[in-house]
Structure 1
């Protein structure tokens, strides 16, 4: 980043894809670009580029600079808003030929790649975006819709939908998760966030282009408007309108079905997470009661403060036998040295962990009990430290190390929502005390941190749910937490990848989408056949009219056996043919008689 004035990336470079699908998409981009160049090179001479080379060079350089100029970080997404990113590209699309616009678009994409994504795809994708904008801004067709599409604000906004879609596609193919639901979730998240930003950028830059075109009216050449391709054929117009309407309806229905299925699936997953969390939370009071037995065992403090370690070890053995929770019991004095211990299977003297030493200092100072979690493989995962009081002062402290099996039993029930789901327990201080990943112990957890809150039923308990984007895995996570204030102060947290919601939503929405596609295809086939029945009789009448106008066959040739408007028109046309044929025959006969009479008179 150059002084936060240009670019948001840390590396100023272009990178090739790391996956096979990435190279495949890159190959498709190259083939598609080559096809575009071949197509437009037949219609547009390359000399026209050199005629305006100053504009092409200037706008390309400007596009490279503005593509990442003055990036504005946004708090709700990991992307930045660049307010002038496509201004030169849209300006070029308004008056330069398509080949020149491709060059400006490639320069804009190069700036986007070097300044932010470091992916080669952007060079091609912004070239395609510029071409789409040029086709919309320079199309010469008659009609209110086409006039609306020629507006810079409209065409700029519509064109920016393409890079958002292509960004999601490129994210999908280069994802480290492979072609999976996790990669799909990452793609959808990236594409949805980019869509809003790109639409806003397209709108802002469209306004700027409109101002420039108003200021320089001769910059954009005037066009001779012609009928659109659909207006040149009734059948093409019927099919084109149906396709446009079908595509619009299909997109709307797919969006509605997808969002509804996502909502239902998310609710089902949250309900399952809440159920598992409630079961785990119900077991916590018993676990805490077992911990409290270590406190109840200290009626006779002299046993632990005695200079005879054998008496203390006997007491520790009694506590050990009365509870299946503890694996090791240790008595520690104020000098943080072990005065007694009971640990079956551990003949050597036990060692205190650094976490336990810090907690012991706090216990001797505050006379409060402490729960310590440790991520060291040499000691157990959780220790319960209890002060032994004498005249209101802590003289020694007893440490009960909880077996790892007991800790795992607490969280095993909340690991079963999905294979990738994670459940853990947080104490009243927000510290993780039980987690399947030992490295997460002692970490602090805060609800709804950098996440979007989701509405759920509370039922009189303190619970909540939210989703957030995890930068470590580049995927969204769905989190549910439960804290029952009446029985305990600990919080049960369950986290599930959002890919689970996508998987379930696809299972729900897939049949509906298949039915929709079948209906659209069947309707298209039926309309194609029906439009043929409309246009063929009309075509026959047009052909017959041209034949009659040229003095050809006047014999009625329209034989439409139909009772609808087309059949009535065909019958009326046939009657007109016969009537005109009869009148011409009568006129011909009259002309012959007149000719004979004139001949006789001349004689």
Structure 2
């Protein structure tokens, strides 16, 4: 960790994002405006003392975001693509989150958003170098202030009111906005920008976590000590999940679905990235293995050819022009070498050579001078060295084969030097082609000698320079940061039997791009499924909650005594069954109330007159209202006085009149021994002796008239249409 006193020593710049970046930026700006408008009820009035607090916190924003911080170590962080500089991930300014968190209490969401936006402007200019930092901290401060000032009473919202918990919830949202903003700001290909954003996301998350956790601990203490400053004196209110069953299911199930699909997306990306990395590793291993296998054959062939030529006895005593003619014949017969030179060991003078034009410019390289001394003094007869290209800027180095020519006494008198260019040698053409083919993937293939000198590189300027990449044979596939800041995959393959090696590198964004192509279809499908699932859940719940809402309205009507509004009974599911139960309850209550009203009217009618005819009439009218065509009261002769000849014993009412009077005697006899007589279909009954020549009702209902076990007669109702009598009908009559 490196402590820093101020950010002002850094570079001040905020590059403009792409066109898509500006679109996303304004979408976030609109989101912040929407949230501030929606939570305007949480906003306290800013006046008087609040303005003083605002300006004090404004000064603190300037101080805490620019001074006193630290850079956290991060091996995975990358510099911006195409910039040859050290990585500079976001710094952790220890006190930077305190001002906008303090503003959440007395200044509310709007004041916190203004201070958060200013803090984001400072950090974006001197630290993160992205305009998204402005909206990032403005949005986070708005959410933090809303969490602090909301007064919902459920456990979840109670936890949200705790500053430390609310600060923890801001961390994943900040990481998402940071990755999105960085991806839309830095230049380069899609995979390069994504790789850069993800590589710096870890240290960005740690830095922000340190800031908000420190501020959250301070705010937790202040919130406990001064609860009124956070709007906590008001009464608790039902939360959105309590007000709506739909919201409760969406918050619960929707959160679960979102976490599940997010897990699937991350898993899809990880698996695709790993698969792409493995594919690249296998591809590089195949190319490197093939290239490395050709190196020993090339070296052994050159060595054998040089030894065979040195064994020619003519080379020991011949002189020019015969010596150069011998070398010319051998080179023309086998175009492996492009230069032959024979030196005298003692004087190091050139005795012969081919091509003849190269003798004028011939010179020994330091490696060859050392080899000449080894041949003369140490008796090392066969040596192989790598030397620079013939001309600077050529794409491949050369190889020098030195073979001592000995006399009969075993003394080295002369030395044969055969040189060949790796770029033109026929045996190295497959090797060079495979290494050069890496440029098609924007990578590079290199051939490296035992001293770490690059013998071949697609960039001629790097030939004959020292290789500084990974070179661990135990871990051939590794990650390396290129000088331009991009991340590379490097495969280092040692040549079997030699100290030479083949090194291949390819930009890591190739794997990211391959992973994107692999994971994108499944990711899009997962997102579409998430949207469909959430909409299906919402509309499915809306059907249920809509029905429940309608039932609540109907229940309110029933409670108010309004029973004239029938419910539409649809479906056979639980909601349909509930609707049917409500409709049955409404109809039952309505029928019962109608029955009570009729009974009340009957009671009032009976009590209003002492005449038998007038007293019976309300009763007959009440039964007639049930749909009967004729209602009759038949008194038993046993209760009539002997001298009451003029007293009426039968009373009738209805459009049918006395049409069914011939049934009076039979009904009088039937109900004397039972409380009621219910005949839903008179034509099929054997209870009555029906005369086929007389009209008969379709249904009838008769009850006995009793008082204190004394039988007075019967009242019965005749119906012209078949009727299924209910217990309520019989009880009413």
Superposition TM-score, scaled by structure 1 size: 0.81
Give 1:201-240 correspondences, 5 Å limit. 201-214=211-224, 216-222=226-232, 223-240=234-251
Give 1:359-378 correspondences, 5 Å limit. 359-360=367-368, 362-363=370-371, 369-374=384-389, 377=392
Alpha-carbon shift at residue 270 of structure 1 (Å):
1.3
> Aligned to 1:14, what secondary structure does the other structure show?
coil
Equivalent in the alignment of 1:545: 555
Equivalent in the alignment of 2:13: 14
* CA distance in 2: counterparts of 1:580 and 1:518, whole angstroms: 50
Question: Which is helix-richer, 1 or 2?
Answer: 1
RMSD across aligned positions (CA) = 4.1
Q: 1:320 to 1:307 in 2, by over 3 A?
A: closer
* CA distance in 1: counterparts of 2:266 and 2:512, whole angstroms: 14
* CA distance in 1: counterparts of 2:513 and 2:519, whole angstroms: 10
* CA distance in 2: counterparts of 1:193 and 1:495, whole angstroms: 26
Structure 2 residue 421 is matched with structure 1 residue 383: no
Q: Is the 8 A contact 1:464 1:482 kept in 2?
A: yes
Q: Is the 8 A contact 2:108 2:146 kept in 1?
A: no
Alpha-carbon shift at residue 488 of structure 1 (Å):
2.7
Q: 1:80 to 1:287 in 2, by over 3 A?
A: farther
Map Cα deviations across residues 482-524 of structure 1 (whole Å, 9 max, x no partner): 2254x33322222222222223323332333343344334434
Alpha-carbon shift at residue 74 of structure 1 (Å):
0.6
Give 1:37-436 correspondences, 5 Å limit. 39=37, 48=46, 51-67=49-65, 69-76=68-75, 77=77, 78=87, 79=89, 81-82=91-92, 84=94, 85-93=96-104, 96-178=107-189, 180-214=190-224, 216-222=226-232, 223-293=234-304, 296=307, 299=310, 310=321, 313-314=324-325, 316-317=327-328, 320-321=331-332, 323-330=334-341, 339=350, 342=353, 344=355, 349-350=360-361, 357-360=365-368, 362-363=370-371, 369-374=384-389, 377=392, 381-386=396-401, 398=417, 400-406=419-425, 409-416=430-437, 419-436=441-458
Structure 2 residue 448 is matched with structure 1 residue 438: no
Equivalent in the alignment of 1:457: none
Equivalent in the alignment of 1:499: 509
Q: 1:296 to 1:155 in 2, by over 3 A?
A: farther
Alpha-carbon shift at residue 288 of structure 1 (Å):
1.6
* CA distance in 2: counterparts of 1:140 and 1:519, whole angstroms: 35
Map Cα deviations across residues 305-335 of structure 1 (whole Å, 9 max, x no partner): 9996646644543553465343334567899
- Unpaired runs of 5+ residues, structure 1, are 454-460
Structure 2 residue 461 is matched with structure 1 residue 465: no
The size of the alignment, in residue pairs, is 581
* CA distance in 1: counterparts of 2:193 and 2:224, whole angstroms: 45
Q: Is the 8 A contact 1:157 1:200 kept in 2?
A: no
> Aligned to 1:477, what secondary structure does the other structure show?
strand
Alpha-carbon shift at residue 358 of structure 1 (Å):
4.2
Asked which structure has the greater CA Rg, the reply is 2
Structure 2 residue 582 is matched with structure 1 residue 567: no
Equivalent in the alignment of 1:458: none
- Unpaired runs of 5+ residues, structure 2, are 78-86, 376-382, 611-733
* CA distance in 1: counterparts of 2:343 and 2:148, whole angstroms: 81
Map Cα deviations across residues 425-454 of structure 1 (whole Å, 9 max, x no partner): 2223333222111222234335648xxx9x
Map Cα deviations across residues 132-176 of structure 1 (whole Å, 9 max, x no partner): 332333333232222233332332233233333333233333333
* CA distance in 2: counterparts of 1:412 and 1:539, whole angstroms: 76
Q: Is the 8 A contact 2:327 2:354 kept in 1?
A: no
* CA distance in 2: counterparts of 1:284 and 1:394, whole angstroms: 31
Map Cα deviations across residues 225-280 of structure 1 (whole Å, 9 max, x no partner): 32233432223433454433332222111111111111122212211221121111
* CA distance in 2: counterparts of 1:503 and 1:446, whole angstroms: 26
Alpha-carbon shift at residue 294 of structure 1 (Å):
6.6
Map Cα deviations across residues 311-367 of structure 1 (whole Å, 9 max, x no partner): 664454355346534333456789999836756595783365xxx744345545666
Q: Is the 8 A contact 1:304 1:396 kept in 2?
A: no
Higher deviation after alignment, 500-509 or 524-533: 524-533
> Aligned to 1:370, what secondary structure does the other structure show?
strand
Superposition TM-score, scaled by structure 2 size: 0.68
